[in-house]
Amino acid sequence: MPFVRIDLIEGRGDAEVAAIGEAVQRALVETMNVPERDRFQVITEHPRGRLVYNAAYLGVERTDGIVLVQVTLSAGRTTDQKLAFYARAAALLEQGANVRPGDVTISIVESTREDWSFGNGAAQYLVLPKEQWK
Protein backbone atom coordinates (compact mmCIF):
# COMPACT_ATOMS: atom_id res chain seq x y z
CA MET A 1 0.00 0.00 0.00
CA PRO A 2 2.78 2.42 0.55
CA PHE A 3 4.58 3.84 -2.43
CA VAL A 4 7.80 5.38 -1.20
CA ARG A 5 10.01 7.95 -2.88
CA ILE A 6 13.40 8.56 -1.30
CA ASP A 7 15.56 11.46 -2.48
CA LEU A 8 19.26 11.78 -1.63
CA ILE A 9 22.25 13.85 -2.63
CA GLU A 10 24.58 11.74 -4.76
CA GLY A 11 27.73 10.21 -3.37
CA ARG A 12 26.64 7.15 -1.44
CA GLY A 13 27.53 3.65 -2.54
CA ASP A 14 24.99 1.08 -3.67
CA ALA A 15 25.08 -0.79 -0.37
CA GLU A 16 24.31 2.33 1.62
CA VAL A 17 21.46 3.28 -0.69
CA ALA A 18 20.03 -0.23 -0.40
CA ALA A 19 20.31 -0.06 3.39
CA ILE A 20 18.35 3.20 3.39
CA GLY A 21 15.52 1.60 1.45
CA GLU A 22 15.52 -1.39 3.76
CA ALA A 23 15.44 0.71 6.92
CA VAL A 24 12.45 2.70 5.70
CA GLN A 25 10.59 -0.45 4.71
CA ARG A 26 11.33 -2.14 8.03
CA ALA A 27 10.03 0.89 9.92
CA LEU A 28 6.80 0.80 7.90
CA VAL A 29 6.36 -2.90 8.61
CA GLU A 30 7.03 -2.55 12.33
CA THR A 31 4.88 0.50 13.00
CA MET A 32 2.35 1.10 10.22
CA ASN A 33 0.87 -2.31 9.70
CA VAL A 34 2.45 -2.68 6.27
CA PRO A 35 2.91 -6.28 5.01
CA GLU A 36 6.56 -7.35 4.53
CA ARG A 37 6.10 -7.90 0.82
CA ASP A 38 4.29 -4.62 0.23
CA ARG A 39 7.44 -2.81 -0.88
CA PHE A 40 7.58 -0.37 -3.77
CA GLN A 41 10.28 2.27 -3.60
CA VAL A 42 11.95 4.69 -5.97
CA ILE A 43 15.29 5.97 -4.67
CA THR A 44 16.86 8.86 -6.56
CA GLU A 45 20.23 10.52 -6.08
CA HIS A 46 20.55 14.15 -7.10
CA PRO A 47 23.53 16.40 -7.71
CA ARG A 48 24.18 18.90 -4.89
CA GLY A 49 22.18 21.98 -5.78
CA ARG A 50 19.26 20.00 -7.15
CA LEU A 51 18.16 18.80 -3.74
CA VAL A 52 17.76 21.99 -1.74
CA TYR A 53 17.22 21.91 2.01
CA ASN A 54 17.41 24.31 4.92
CA ALA A 55 20.07 23.22 7.38
CA ALA A 56 18.35 24.61 10.49
CA TYR A 57 14.54 24.78 10.06
CA LEU A 58 12.74 23.97 13.33
CA GLY A 59 16.05 23.81 15.13
CA VAL A 60 17.15 20.56 13.52
CA GLU A 61 20.70 20.42 12.15
CA ARG A 62 20.81 18.95 8.65
CA THR A 63 23.68 18.00 6.35
CA ASP A 64 24.19 16.83 2.78
CA GLY A 65 23.50 13.37 4.18
CA ILE A 66 19.82 14.35 4.17
CA VAL A 67 17.26 11.63 3.36
CA LEU A 68 13.92 12.92 2.06
CA VAL A 69 11.26 10.24 2.39
CA GLN A 70 7.80 10.67 0.88
CA VAL A 71 5.29 7.94 1.62
CA THR A 72 1.97 7.67 -0.20
CA LEU A 73 -0.43 5.21 1.41
CA SER A 74 -4.07 4.56 2.17
CA ALA A 75 -5.56 6.57 5.01
CA GLY A 76 -6.32 4.76 8.22
CA ARG A 77 -3.15 4.90 10.26
CA THR A 78 -3.52 6.63 13.61
CA THR A 79 -1.50 9.59 14.78
CA ASP A 80 0.32 7.26 17.17
CA GLN A 81 1.29 4.94 14.35
CA LYS A 82 2.71 7.85 12.39
CA LEU A 83 4.69 9.08 15.40
CA ALA A 84 6.05 5.58 15.94
CA PHE A 85 7.00 5.38 12.27
CA TYR A 86 8.99 8.63 12.36
CA ALA A 87 10.89 7.54 15.45
CA ARG A 88 11.54 4.03 14.20
CA ALA A 89 12.62 5.16 10.75
CA ALA A 90 15.14 7.58 12.26
CA ALA A 91 16.48 4.87 14.58
CA LEU A 92 16.76 2.20 11.88
CA LEU A 93 18.31 4.60 9.37
CA GLU A 94 20.94 5.48 11.95
CA GLN A 95 21.66 1.87 12.92
CA GLY A 96 21.43 0.30 9.49
CA ALA A 97 22.54 2.99 7.07
CA ASN A 98 24.57 5.43 9.11
CA VAL A 99 22.14 8.31 8.59
CA ARG A 100 22.16 11.11 11.18
CA PRO A 101 18.70 11.37 12.82
CA GLY A 102 18.64 15.09 12.02
CA ASP A 103 18.92 14.18 8.35
CA VAL A 104 15.73 12.10 8.24
CA THR A 105 12.86 14.13 6.79
CA ILE A 106 9.57 12.33 6.19
CA SER A 107 6.24 13.32 4.71
CA ILE A 108 3.11 11.25 4.27
CA VAL A 109 0.39 11.65 1.65
CA GLU A 110 -2.82 9.70 2.10
CA SER A 111 -5.16 8.23 -0.47
CA THR A 112 -7.87 5.56 -0.24
CA ARG A 113 -8.06 1.85 -0.93
CA GLU A 114 -9.68 2.27 -4.30
CA ASP A 115 -6.70 4.36 -5.41
CA TRP A 116 -4.40 1.37 -5.92
CA SER A 117 -3.87 -1.26 -8.57
CA PHE A 118 -1.10 -3.76 -7.97
CA GLY A 119 -1.16 -5.36 -11.38
CA ASN A 120 -3.37 -7.15 -13.89
CA GLY A 121 -5.66 -4.15 -14.14
CA ALA A 122 -7.37 -4.92 -10.83
CA ALA A 123 -8.01 -2.89 -7.68
CA GLN A 124 -6.87 -5.60 -5.33
CA TYR A 125 -7.83 -3.83 -2.09
CA LEU A 126 -11.43 -3.72 -3.25
CA VAL A 127 -11.71 -7.31 -4.44
CA LEU A 128 -9.31 -9.37 -2.33
CA PRO A 129 -10.33 -10.31 1.23
CA LYS A 130 -8.09 -8.55 3.74
CA GLU A 131 -6.47 -11.77 4.95
CA GLN A 132 -4.98 -12.15 1.49
CA TRP A 133 -3.20 -8.77 1.60
CA LYS A 134 0.28 -10.19 1.74
Residues designated as active site? 2
Q: Considering only CA atoms, which of 73, 75, 88 is closest in space to residue 26?
A: 88
What is the rounded distance in angstroms from the CA atom of residue 75 to the CA atom of residue 134?
Answer: 18
Strand 3-9, strand 67-74: pairing: antiparallel
What is the rounded distance in angstroms from the CA atom of residue 11 to the CA atom of residue 73?
Answer: 29
CB 30 within 8 A of CB 81: no
Minimum CB separation of residue 16 from its own copies in Å reads: 12
Q: Footprint of its own copies on residues 64-103 (CB under 8 A)?
A: 68, 70, 72, 79, 82-83, 86-91, 101-103
* Residue 29 within binding range of its own copies, rule CB under 8 A: no
Choice between 30 and 115, CB closer to its own copies: 115
Please provide the size of the chain in residues.
Answer: 134
* Residue 26 within binding range of its own copies, rule CB under 8 A: no
**Site for its own copies, rule CB under 8 A:** 3, 7, 14, 17-18, 21, 35, 37-46, 49-54, 56-62, 68, 70, 72, 79, 82-83, 86-91, 101-111, 114-124, 126, 128, 132-134
